[in-house]
Amino acid sequence: MRVEHVEVAVRTGGRVRVEDVTEHVRQAVRDAGVRQGIVLASVPHTTCAVCVNENETGLRSDIERLAREVLEPLASQGEFAHDCIDDNARAHLTSLLLGHHAMLPIADGEVVLGTWQSVFLVEMDGPRERRLHLQVIGI
């Protein structure tokens, strides 16, 4: 069993932004030399997320809108308690909904993704430099 860990710096380009990190995931798997297994993509941050979805311009914009507005009904009922510290409660709460990791299968040395699937880091409190951790496990 082989286990490889890679940390990738990802510079996000806006307050809320969807960054395609698929090629980083693919490269980590190629470099690890794993033919069959899994790859875990994870972020050690509480105001961004990792998800898998279609890399289409309109959908990326919709994901960014979701990250900005999903908690709007709650915000209209009053301020979030965490906002008194650093005014980013929405980013923290949205990351809970989207999740901080994605696990993908590896088959024949390649990440298994559907035709339209890509791996995204979703920034909700940027712009920042984020760390994407990739753990490749397999044979």
Number of compact structural domains in the chain: 1
Continuous H helices in the chain: 22-32, 57-69, 72-75, 83-86, 89-98
Q: How far is CA 23 from the centre of its chain?
A: 13
**Tell me, what CATH number does 76's domain have?**
2.60.120.460
Please tell me the distance from the alpha carbon of residue 63 to that of residue 70, in angstroms, as a whole number.
Answer: 10
- What is residue 117's three-state secondary structure? strand
Its domain, for residue 134, covers 2-138
Tokens of 12: 């996000």
Please give the chain's pLDDT, 139 residues, in tens: 999 999 999 999 999 999 999 999 999 999 999 999 999 999 999 999 999 999 999 999 999 999 888 887 777 677 788 878 888 888 999 999 999 999 999 999 999 999 999 999 999 999 999 999 999 999 9
- Give the predicted TM-score (pTM) of the model: 0.93
Cα 107 to Cα 18: distance, rounded to the nearest angstrom = 27
